[in-house]
Structure 1
């Protein structure tokens, strides 16, 4: 089947797109060259360049966002891009794993199949070394410690804020969300918390959780500048309403300060 070369790309968009995907041919799944050239010019020139985020970090952020927003076709392209850029398979897989407690298994299961399909096509073993560090006996304690490391000592007694009939949700958060996922190796705690911000911003409609994790990011050193850079990168993938909502959450939680 004949493939069309994407035309009318800016020099920087073309340079970055080739770095990511090693081609300027129309990606599989697209039949409208004008549509895709508009996307590439914005995503791979203006948005990527303005964000200032390095390519390897950017592609992991984009992949987490695509899982949260349901962009399976683009996700497959970005798995290929990550491999082209030299991102290790553990980071790719852990980024996907980390979306699970936020986006839900209904989304992440299909993306696991997509990721493994790319790995298989490129001759990569889909069975990777486990990054799990907890057991059923200590996942709660280690998860709670991760919460404390991110949000501070106030989390030690966070169960007290739940009513007796909802306290199991606090247990789930500590043992499952933080214990089963945040404690995994392959990605450090600071980057996992940044990915959580990405996932929540991409989901939309979760402003209270988004603000809480902005606070967590600030505590870990992902400052306002970093978070705005991330939103800048995400605009082409999540659209303006969710991007502007994320900016509002940043402004409320970490207001701009005159220098």
Structure 2
């Protein structure tokens, strides 16, 4: 099949139809977008359908493109991704883009769930108020190694609370939750930071973290390729430079 046929088939599989207002008013733009995304990018990458849709969901959340959040929530459900995993993916962006932005996306996801008759009542939390810091530090060490101890110890006295917030909140409150494992969470984090742009120092750390979790260069390149249509080439090329610097061929 050519990319037009692949695009049409993929959209019908995910959404049941390729009809939307943009196709009626701006057919050329619609064709450029859908043939690139569904006819080429989707066909090129080797990521699982679960991670493909979750990555696009967190990128849409980062970009504040709520129409895309709704679209890829529906696509994830179409690909049999667990509702709990969908929620966890969106939650995971909180520490990187801010809680207010994530709350907007959560409301969109909830609307889709309501339309689909989905209700989630079971908490995915695994930490307590007393354990969140230590379990967060453990998650950090599992990903980044023992250098976390040195980073925490070397923080100036007036900045130690920031290290505690990083460990307890970013890693304790989010990374320890159920439905997504550390390997999946690190790949989502890579995608979120890539979509933000201008966060290359953090991207260096999380490229290394992905490698430690078993996400090799081919996986990161697939994630980056998937992000590219939605974040543009400047951010994508900056992230590519980081990947190439951290992981030499």
Shorter-chain TM range is over 0.9
1:240 matched to 2:233: yes
The counterpart of 2:100, out of the listed 106, 124, 136, is 106
Cα offset for 1:129? Answer: 0.9
Cα deviation, residue 34, structure 1: 2.2
Mapped partners of 2:214, 2:72: distance in 1 = 27
CA RMSD across the alignment? 1.7
- Does residue 36 (structure 1) correspond to residue 46 (structure 2)? The answer is no
Match runs of 1:37-76 below 5 Å:
37-76=31-70
2:122 matches 1:129: yes
Query: Could you tell me which residue of structure 2 aligns to residue 180 of structure 1?
Result: 173
1:252 has 2:233 as partner: no
Q: 1: distance between equivalents of 2:221 and 2:102?
A: 26
SS of the aligned residue for 1:222 comes to coil
**TM-fit CA distance, 1:83:** 1.1
Specify which of 206, 210, 213 is matched with residue 206 of structure 2: 213
Query: How many Å apart are 1:154 and its aligned residue?
Result: 1.4
Q: Tell me the secondary structure at the aligned position of residue 92 of structure 2.
A: helix
Corresponding residue for residue 144 of structure 2: 151
Query: Per-residue CA shift, 1:46-102, capped at 9, x if unaligned?
Result: 111112223222111110111112111111111111111211101111101111111
Cα distance in 2 for residues equivalent to 1:173 and 1:44: 37
> For 2:117, what is the secondary structure of its paired residue?
coil
Asked if 1:193 corresponds to 2:186, the answer is yes
In 2: Cα distance, 1:158 partner to 1:195 partner: 23
TM-score by length of 2: 0.95
CA deviation after TM superposition for structure 1 residue 30, in Å: 7.9
Q: Distance in 2 between matches of 1:233 and 1:136?
A: 37
| Residue pair 2:3, 2:40 contacting (<8 A) in 1 also | no
TM-superposed CA distance for 1:152, in Å, is 0.5
The answer to whether the aligner puts 1:166 opposite 2:182 as a matched pair is no
How high is the TM-score relative to the length of structure 1?
0.91
Structure 2, unaligned runs of 5 or more: none
Paired residues of 2:4 and 2:39 also in contact (CA < 8 A)? yes
Corresponding pairs, count: 248
